[in-house]
Amino acid sequence: MTDGDVTMFESRAMVDYLVERCGGGDLVPEPGTADSARCRQWCWFGESTFARPVGELANHHRIAPEGGTVPFVIEDCRAKMRLCLDALEGALVDTDYLVANTFGIADIMTGYTLALASHRSMVPEGYPNSDAYFARLRERPGFHAASAAG
């Protein structure tokens, strides 16, 4: 991302920069609150904890020679991804979004990783709250705009 003389390559840092520069509006909770802490937790979860097994699984399939995937690597990534989906599933009981039942940057960051996993057909069945959550995210105008932009 380039904004004037600032060029950045890390998505989480870009979000922080844009919130600081433009204001977070309804996308971020008031600093210093429990919701702000939960927001940070879910942002980091989406970009690190959840993204890691999704990315490793995608890369393993991409770089392994034809038929050369390593089964224990695949299973380890899938197990870690299921742990992440279990956490997401539990957080989405009786709520539409991850923090204060309001769409925000936590949903953008976590939703991106969920979109990547869904696009690559990595999300196993049995996660109805996560499936409904992702369906809500896919209906948002920003999701359509980002998908069209590539």
Instruction: Note down pLDDT in tens along the chain; length 150 residues.
Output: 999 999 999 999 999 999 999 998 999 999 999 999 999 999 999 999 999 999 998 888 777 777 677 888 889 999 999 999 999 999 999 999 999 999 999 999 999 999 999 888 889 999 999 999 999 999 999 898 888 886
pLDDT the model gives residue 113: 95
pLDDT the model gives residue 111: 95
Q: Are 109 and 23 in contact (CB under 8 A)?
A: no
User: What domains does the chain contain, in order, with CATH numbers?
Assistant: 2-149 (1.20.1050.10)
DSSP secondary structure letters along 65-120? -TT---HHHHHHHHHHHHHHHHHHHHHTTT-SSTBTTB--HHHHHHHHHHHHHHHT
Q: Which pTM value belongs to this model? A: 0.90
- Residue 50, H or E segment: none
pLDDT the model gives residue 27: 95
